[in-house]
Each structure stands twice: as C-alpha cells, then as structure tokens.
Chains A and B, each alone.
Chain A
Amino acid sequence: MAVDAGRYSLTLSRRTRRRKVVNLLMQALATLAALAAVAVLALVIVSVAQRAASALSWDFFTKTAATFGQSGGGVANALVGSLVIVAVATAMAVPVGILIALYVSEFAPPRVGDLVRLVLDVLNGLPSIIIGIFVYGLLVIGSGQAAWKGSFALAIIMLPLVARATQEVLALVPGTLREGALALGASRWRTVLGVVLPTSFGGILTGTVLAVARAAGETAPLLFTTSIAANAVTWDPRQPVLSIPYDIFVLSESPDPADHARAWALGFVLICFVLVTSLSARLLLARYRKRMEG
C-alpha cells in the first residue's frame, strides 16, 4: 500500500511509525480478546469433562441417588425430571409463541405489533428468579410443588424466545408468496396456515430448539416450583421432580466430594446437550436463511 510510505521519502516518518504501532497493538488486542473467548470455552468444557470423568458410569445414568451412608448411586431421576419438565414447557410455550408471532406479522397494525414486540422483549429481560417467584405465588402456595408448575415457569422464559424467533422468520417469507396465494383466491387464514407457516417451519424449529437449550439450563425458576422431590424416577408431571440444573446446584453445595464429582458430571451432560442442540440449531438456521434469502 502507498500509505505505508512517507509522502516524500521512502523512510517512514516518526508519526507514521507511531500510527502503525498503535494500529498493530490494537489489532493484536482485538485478536487476543477473540482468542481468549474461545480459550475460555475450551477451558470450561475440558475442566468440566476432567472433573466429571470419575463420576460418569452406567450407574450414574440409570440409578437414583444412594441412600444416606452408602456410596454409588446416580442421577436418573434428575435426567428424567428435566426431560419431563422441559417437554411440558415446550408444549406450553411453542403454540402460544407461534400464535403471537403470527399476530404480529400477519394481522396486527404496525403500532400494535411494535407494542407486542416490546412486551416480548421486556418479558425476555426479566430475571428468571422473578418468574420463579411469580409462579410460586400463583400456583405453588397452598397446593404444593409439581413438575408442570416448573414447566409453566420455563414456558414463560421460552415464550418470548420462540415468538421472537418465529416472527423473524415469518418476516423473511417473501410478500410475493402471500400475494400469490391471495390472488389465487385463497382466504387470509388459508394463506397463513397453508403457505406462510409451512414455509417458515425450519426457522420456527430452530427457534424452538434454541429456547429448549436455554430452558434446560435454567435453575432459578425451578427452585420454588419443583425442587422437593422423592428419590425415584417419575414420569408424571403432576408430581414434583428433580431436574439437572437444580441437582447441580444442590450437589455443588454438598460437603461430600463424591457429590461434587456428580455435580460436575451432571454439568458435563448439560453442557453437551446445550452445545449440541444450539450448534445444530444455528447450522440449521444458517442454511434456512440462505435458502430464503438466496
């Protein structure tokens, strides 16, 4: 580049040299920051995996916690519990989230749509522990804990995520597709359900998977809604159940080192689940966007 040379001579002036040094320094710092972020990710995964190794076994996945004084035992009830809680939460949040997104993108006047988006964003910004206390006050006081009450709390967290993601992909559906359907004589609702919604299916799926990944790791809303549970595997959402994140929280506060290893192992399971799901969701979304925009 011509910039590199001084204006009249081929040797760099002092000022230019200083500018170049500052530039290089800043570039190095920026690169270093990015490397640090990647290193932290690697560090977290490796250190969790290392500490988890001693506790990972067949029993860990298939047995419930050992009774007091005995060694061994596993976390099967927490695994099943998380599965139940998150599945029910997904069943609650996804239909409502899609409906809200449809309202914003297909029916609402622009100002009302803006308002609904604001409500979703505010809902998304609420601390999850507040949502936990809300559900506690609404459903748990007087009638006790249950898995579905935890699901309700997680569904509140998932709702804005699903709705916003869906609404973003609905906005990607080309207007010509809608106009084509309407011009062929299809009614509004048939256009929405038969053309717009199926076209954005991939994007909605991605949004849902990301919301599931987020919900699976939430601890605070489950503290008050489904934490005091029997030490047995239950598939019944009407019973209180243990969950992976809550179990990590409890095990990590326990004085027994074997429990710590179990907490790390559960953390490893959770990280693997979250990383695999969010990575595949992002890959899916990238492909989907390319198809829609390209």
Chain B
Amino acid sequence: MSARVSAVPSTQPLPERRRIGDRFGDLFLHGLTGAAAVAAAVLLGAIAWKIFQLAWPAITKYGFAFVTRQGWDTVHNKFGALDLIWGTALTSFAALLIATPLSIAIGLYLSELAPRGARTVIASLVELLAAIPSVVLGLWGILVLGPFVGQDLEPWLHRHLGFIPLALGATRWEMVRGVILPYTRTGVSAAILLGFGRAIGEAIAVTQVIGAGHGIHWSLFVTGDTLASKLAEQYQGAVSNIQIASLVYLAAILLVISLLVNLTALFIVRRFSHERIGGS
C-alpha cells in the first residue's frame, strides 16, 4: 500500500521524519495493544496453572478419589470433596429454581407489559439489585440472575414481528408462549448458565448464611457447605500444608466446573447471536 502511495506524485511530500515517526507510531501502538491482549490470555493461563500447582500435593496424594470421598477431617488429614460438591450443586440449583421463572417473568414484564415511562425506571432498579455487593446480601440467586435474562428479552417485540400473532387474535400470553419463549430459548438458557456460573462461585454470601456443616443433605434447611464457602472459611485457619493443598484442590474443582459452565454458555450465546444476525 505504501508503495502505491509513493508511486503517485503528491504535491507536497511528507517530511521524511514524520513518515518514519508515523510508521513507528503505528507499529508501536499495534504492538502495545497486542501485548495487552496477549497479557490477558497469559493471565488466564497463569491462574489455571497456579491453582493446579498449589493443589498439586493434594492431587498427587489423594488422586481423583478426592472428588468422590466425603468428609473434612483436619485432625487425621482425611479430606474429600463430595459433600461440598453436593452442597454447591444443591444451593446453586435451588437458587436457579427460584431465579429462573422470576427473571423470565421480569424480562417479560419489562418487554411486553410495562408502560414506556416505567420500563426504564424498573429496569434500572432491577439492575441496581444486581449491583448490591454479595457481602451485604444473604439472599443471592434472584439478584444474580435477574438482569441477565431481563436484558435478553427486553427489545424483542420492537425488533421483531411479535405483533403479528397479536393481530391474528392471539392473547398476549399466547404470543409469549408460542413465539417469544421458543425464539429466545437459547439466549435465555445461556443467561441461566451464566447466572449458574456466578452462583456456584459465590463464596462470601454463602459462608455468612449457611454456616459450617458436614455431610450430604437433601434439605436446604440443614447447614451445609459449598466449595467456595469452605475455602473462604478455612483458608486462614488452615494448619498443615496438605490441608491448604486440599483446600486449593477444592478451588481447582470449582475452577473446572465454572470454566465448563461458562464456556458452554458463551458458546451458546455466540451461536445464538450468529443465528440472529443470519436468520432474521
């Protein structure tokens, strides 16, 4: 490209120094921004590497059986993650069960029912709810999920042909059930997964609320522990190296679960947005 430019005789050729300066500036900015992007990727890799490195003594000692064993015995150094994984799954699923219908309902209200003036006010109030720090909240699931799903549904009717079923004589609910929900299904499920990812990693609110308990329970009203809350609560009081390594082993399990959940959600989001761009 530069060759072509120089082939055309220009009336006022740029001073040589400025041209060199510009080329250097372009290269420099390109390199600097690129380096920042590479740094982000390196950071992600470093996080995974460091967690597994810290957990390595426990991984080699207990192996994969750690995941399927129960109990957290600090006296005899017998550790297992099963009941913690169970606690994480149980609390997160319960949160999901409460949060999903509520979030979808809020999203539908905002997109289809709310009067124009109230819409922005209520939407920003719901988003504020999500901004409240988890350490202040004992309750969490609803607040984590709400905004994701709300955003996903909001502009639907305005961008798409949702008014056609209405014009054909369907009630609003029939339009929602027959058209909007099926159409936004992938997006909503991705939002739910992202919310789930946040719920399983929530350490502080859970530690404050559920307290330290042991064993596997079906009930939500017995104290239990999750992977993240166990970490938050025991890390500083840990006495032996193998106990610390075991705790980080928990973090490694948490890391793997949250990576899987997030990547699945992101994959769905991407495919979904491609479909939308291509399909409608």
With A and B bound together, what is the CA distance between A185 and B128 in angstroms?
46
Q: Is A130 an interface residue (CB 8 A)?
A: yes
Q: Which of B105, B108, B124, B172 contacts A23 (CB 8 A)?
A: B172
B174 with A19: CB separation less than 8 A:
yes
Instruction: Determine if B54 and A22 form an interchain contact, defined as CB atoms under 8 angstroms apart.
Output: no
Residue of A nearest to B41 (CB): A119
Does A239 touch B at the CB level, under 8 Å?
A: no
Q: Are A107 and B262 in contact (CB under 8 A)?
A: no
List the A side residues contacting B261 at CB < 8 Å.
Answer: 125
Q: Do A278 and B259 have beta carbons less than 8 Å apart?
A: no
Asked if A249 lies at the interface with its beta carbon under 8 angstroms from chain B, I say yes
A-side binding surface: helix, strand, loop or mixed?
helix
Q: Are A116 and B37 in contact (CB under 8 A)?
A: yes
Given contacts A133-B248, A217-B133, A217-B135, contact A278 B128 (CB under 8 A): yes
Residues of A close to B26: CB separation below 8 A: 187-189
Known contacts A189-B26, A224-B235, A249-B208; decide if A267 and B113 are in contact (CB<8 Å).
Answer: no
Q: Which of A198-231 contact B (CB under 8 A)?
A: 213-214, 216-220, 223-224, 227
A residues within 8 A CB of B74? none
- What string of 1s and 0s marks CB contacts (under 8 Å) between A20-32 and chain B? 1011001101111
Interface set, chain B 213-241, CB cutoff 8 A to A: 228, 231-232, 235-236
Knowing A37-B125, A122-B263, A137-B53 are in contact, say whether A130-B133 is a contact too (CB < 8 A): no
Interface-central residue, A29, A40, A131, A224, by most chain B CB under 10 Å = A40
Task: List A contacts of B110 (CB < 8 A).
Answer: 34
Binary per-residue interface labels of chain A (87-101) against chain B in the complex, 1 for a CB within 8 Å, 0 otherwise: 000000000100110
Q: Are B129 and A40 in contact, CB atoms less than 8 angstroms apart?
A: yes
Smallest distance from the beta carbon of B185 to chain A beta carbons, Å?
A: 17
Among A26, A48, A133, A163, which residue has its beta carbon within 8 angstroms of that of B51? A133
A172: chain B residues at CB < 8 Å are none
For the complex formed, measure the closest distance between the CB of B156 and the CB atoms of chain A, giving whole angstroms: 14
Contact across chains for A134 and B135 when beta carbons are under 8 A apart = no
A275-B135 in contact given A126-B201, A220-B204 (Cβ < 8 Å): no
A33-B109, A41-B125, A41-B129 given; A129·B231 CB < 8 A: yes
Are the C-beta atoms of A34 and B135 separated by less than 8 Å?
A: no
Q: Contact: A159 with B40, CB < 8 Å? A: yes
Alpha-carbon distance A210/B80, docked complex (angstroms): 39
Is B259 in contact with A122, judged by CB distance below 8 angstroms? yes
B30 at the interface (CB under 8 A from A): yes
Check: A128 CB closer than 8 A to any chain B CB: yes
Contacts A120-B40, A253-B208 given; 4 further ones with Cβ under 8 A?
A37-B129, A96-B40, A103-B33, A279-B128
* Chain B residues packing against A (C-beta within 8 Å): 14, 22-23, 25-26, 28-30, 32-37, 39-41, 43-44, 46-47, 50-51, 53-54, 101-102, 105-106, 108-110, 112-114, 120, 122, 124-129, 131-137, 139, 142-143, 146, 169, 171-174, 176, 194, 197-198, 200-204, 207-208, 228, 231-232, 235-236, 248, 251, 254-255, 258-259, 261-263, 265-266
